[in-house]
Structure 1
Amino acid sequence: MSAAEAAAMTAAARPPFGARLATAMDELGPLCVGIDPHPALLADWGLADDAAGVREFGLRVVEALGGRVAALKPQAAFFERHGSSGVAALEDVVAAARAAGTLTIVDAKRGDIGSTMAGYAEAFLADGSPLAGDAVTLSPYLGFGSLAPAAELAAATGRGIFVLCLTSNPEGQQVQHAVGPDGLTVAASVAAQAAALNAGAVSDGLPMGSVGLVVGATIGAAARETGTDLEAVAGPLLAPGVGAQGAGERELADVFGAVRRNVLASSSRGVLAAGPDAAELRGAAQRSTAQARAALRPPR
């Protein structure tokens, strides 16, 4: 059997990302823990700010939380700033999470056109790539259609994508709240196109599609104000800003309303600040998971 045939069989045997994430959220709670080895945290953990330090940081997080949270989200930038050795460290962290049986979202926010986008897709979504987790974050601001190579490869390999839609940084409003020639805001258009890609999963009876959006947990009424139909997306909604950045139960309910069950709350500093002790990290993750359940999984 050729390597290509083996890869095709592996992909065929892998359930779609949206289904796998829905199961993990049901079983472990709707929490994603970021792996963000920025200099201050490295210092707090007694680690050097170099490739070896970020590798050790990431592996410790995986060892402490692998199999205990729905997903882990390494932030590629904190690894890439250390050059090729840092990228190799990211590869090791992704491999460790895979070995621990934990879904991994590589937070890379890539976005480009044509063959360049196809190259990014191969790096983060192709079977056999050491950088490929279970999903990757993408930027749609060269046009949502420019993400087609990534969307197509993700679908072919059973992986997922999370597309930036409504982010919490104030500068994002200049683009995301802008109104296009079709009368839709950019955010509403991004959400509608994600919904279109998820339509097949919905018709197949899957719990949610594999094309998700990144929607900040602290954006308040922005989804309503921009006409962004998050419920119609029928995919996962990755929500940074939970915990240290101030989003609690009330804020999450305000932002996501009836679609809260599709929200994967992302917490980085709120959990990582408890390290480096593994037991303390687990305790912080358990508390964050309990808070996310209360806010996002109210009784039916």
Structure 2
Amino acid sequence: MFIDTLIEKIKEKNNPTVVGLDPKIDYVPSFIKEEMFQKYGANLKGVAEAILKFNKMLIDSIYDIVPAVKPQLAYYEMYGVEGVRVFYETCKYAKEKGLICIADGKRNDIGTTAEAYSSAFLGNTKVDDNCMEAAFDVDALTVNPYLGVDGIKPFVNDCANFGKGIFVLVKTSNKSSGQLQDLLTQEGKSIYEKVAEYVNDWGANVIGKYGYSSVGAVVGATYPNQAKILRKILRNAYILVPGYGAQGGTARDVAHSFNSDGLGALVNASRSIMCAYKDEHWSGIYTEDKFNEASRAEALRMKDDINQVIGA
């Protein structure tokens, strides 16, 4: 079961964080760009190869200290077919290194289309009557609950059938999230509270041995007060927490998403780790050709930062 594997990886590495692999070509050090542009040309193929090398070097530098990575699909899709190939290759490489791979795609649609999305990322795709084959085969996927239960059920079914996980958007980290998510229902509860209640229901049949469900929630670090409320509602859900680091969330903010057992949340950082070599704190220590060492140092700093607050 996905959630049990995730928790065991977190315990093994004493690290409740996930590294977001959301690459732009601007993030890639010049020596990698120059090498790949010279070999493949200054085109989408060259960009994709540069990003793939960048991702692999990052993974090599962190796989032994973090439990998971989270590639954001948009950053690959914007480079077209070559970018989608790099997404696939990145996920495959991360899993070969023993990392859990969470695809951040925020997918959903009406029932049959949701089935197709779920088959692509979590389940199997039919080739013919005698053959089913995994396409992207990631461990978990972020999903959008806006279409209701018929858009969620295919993903939940594949969580049960294939040992995978999903994280449902509940309270996102962006500034305008309150336009919809904070609206009050006729019951006097906000939309995000109602979605959290549904998450409990949707995940009730995929609860693992540690008491947590493979149907989790996304709650941004930039809304710590809402996280306090949601932690009480989401009794069995693991919370994926974006917004730490570059978006302004702090360790004290993300602490509200954890339970008293020190579990219950997985905190994401993307730019602050990928681009650590550009940060003034690390740029004086690590040169550009040592960008991966800077990323490792920042990942360890983040781990200690969050563990210290959880422990307190």
What TM-score does the superposition give when structure 2 sets the normalisation length?
0.82
Distance 2:77 2:193 in 1: 32
- Is 1:113 the counterpart of 2:113? The answer is no
Match of 1:273 among 264, 272, 275: 275
In the alignment, is the contact (CA less than 8 A) between 2:258 and 2:264 conserved in 1? no
Q: In the alignment, which of 30, 54, 73 is matched to residue 76 of structure 1?
A: 73
Cα drift, residue 129 of structure 1: 2.7
**Amino acid across the alignment from 1:152:** N
Instruction: Give a deviation string over 1:26-71, Cα, whole Å, max 9, x none.
Output: 1211010000112431256743672222222222222222232011
Quote the offset at 1:231 in angstroms.
5.0
Higher-Rg member (1/2): 2
Residue from 235, 252, 257 that aligns with 2:237: 235
Identity of aligned residues (%): 30
SS of residue paired to 1:142: coil
Greater Cα offset, 120-129 or 24-33: 120-129
> Are residues 78 and 261 of structure 1, via their aligned partners in 2, closer, same or farther at CA, if it must alter by over 3 Å?
same
Conservation of the 8 A alpha-carbon contact between 1:213 and 1:238? yes
Q: Given the alignment of the two structures, is residue 245 of structure 1 paired with residue 242 of structure 2, yes or no?
A: no
Moved more, 40-49 or 80-89: 40-49
Query: 1:242–1:141: structure 2 CA closer, same or farther, 3 Å change rule?
Result: same
Displacement of 1:180: 3.0
Aligned length: 280
* Cα distance change of structure 1 residues 290 and 207 upon mapping to structure 2, 3 Å threshold: farther
Q: Does 1:216 align with 2:220?
A: yes
The one of 194, 209, 216 equivalent to 2:199 is: 194
Partner of 2:301: 287
Q: 1:134 to 1:182 in 2, by over 3 A?
A: same
Tell me which of 11, 25, 30 is aligned to 1:26.
Answer: 11
CA contact (8 A) 1:22 1:208 kept: no
> In 1, distance between residues paired with 2:267 and 2:77?
25
- Judging changes above 3 Å, is the alpha-carbon distance between structure 1 residues 181 and 111 closer, same or farther for their aligned structure 2 residues? farther
In structure 2, C-alpha distance between the alignment counterparts of 1:281 and 1:118, rounded to whole Å? 37
Q: Please tell me whether residue 86 in structure 1 is matched to residue 83 in structure 2.
A: yes
Q: What's the Cα RMSD here?
A: 2.3
- Runs of 4+ residues over 6 Å off in structure 1: none
Cα distance, 1:255–1:212 mapped onto 2, change above 3 Å = closer
Match of residue 175, structure 2, among 167, 170, 180: 170
Calculate the TM-score normalised by the size of structure 1: 0.85
Looking at structure 2, the residues matched to 84 and 55 of structure 1 have their Cα atoms a distance apart, in angstroms, of 13
